[in-house]
């Protein structure tokens, strides 16, 4: 079955630093990748959609300059949280899909900003 690898699974860092999260499709070409954020005991909220080779499309209320998304290849997308602050602490989940495929979710990254 389709596998999506997300790394790191857990990161703790100081306020003001930038954190990069990687999302890789291991056995298929991901033409579209999605980034979600989930706060404790809440649902998933879509942050942005990225198509390979194109700029990401951000959802309303998501700061483009704070959450930098790059989808440079058909197997890799990255989310960089720039100048992270405690309110950015959350569970970040990526998903990837190829043509005519459902979304396949990564294992998530738990980000804690001190």
Partner 1 sequence: ELKVEQNPLFLSMQEGKNYTIYCNYSTTSDRLYWYRQDPGKSLESLFVLLSNGAVKQEGRLMASLDTKARLSTLHITAAVHDLSATYFCAVDLIQGAQKLVFGQGTRLTINP
Tell me which residues touch partner 1 (CB under 8 A). Answer: 6, 32, 34, 42-46, 49, 93, 97, 102-108, 110
Nearest approach, Cβ of residue 52 and partner 1 (Å): 15
Nearest approach, Cβ of residue 43 and partner 1 (Å): 5
Rank residues 29 and 82 by Cβ distance to partner 1 and give the closer one.
29
Rank residues 17 and 31 by Cβ distance to partner 1 and give the closer one.
31
Nearest approach, Cβ of residue 22 and partner 1 (Å): 15
Rank residues 18 and 42 by Cβ distance to partner 1 and give the closer one.
42
Residues 6+ apart with CB under 8 A from 64: 56, 58
Residue position matching structure tokens 């704070």: 66
Nearest approach, Cβ of residue 16 and partner 1 (Å): 27
Beta strands of 1-75 (E only): which ranges?
A: 4-7, 10-13, 19-25, 32-38, 44-51, 57-58, 67-73
Take residue 114 and report the two structure tokens written for it: 């001190």
Could you give the CA distance from residue 35 to residue 20 in angstroms, rounded to a whole number?
13
Rank residues 82 and 110 by Cβ distance to partner 1 and give the closer one.
110
Residue position matching structure tokens 């890789």: 24
């Amino acid at each position: 079955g389709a596998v999506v690898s997300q790394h790191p699974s857990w990161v703790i860092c100081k306020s003001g630093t930038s954190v990069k999260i990687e999302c890789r499709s291991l056995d298929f070409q991901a033409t579209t990748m999605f980034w979600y954020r989930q706060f404790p005991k809440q649902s998933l909220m879509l942050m942005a959609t990225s198509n390979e080779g194109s700029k990401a499309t951000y959802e309303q209320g998501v700061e483009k300059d704070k959450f930098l998304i790059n989808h440079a290849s058909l197997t890799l997308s990255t989310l960089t949280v720039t100048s992270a602050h405690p309110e950015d602490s959350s569970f970040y989940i990526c998903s990837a899909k190829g043509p005519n495929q459902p979304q396949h979710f990564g294992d998530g990254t738990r980000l804690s900003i001190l």
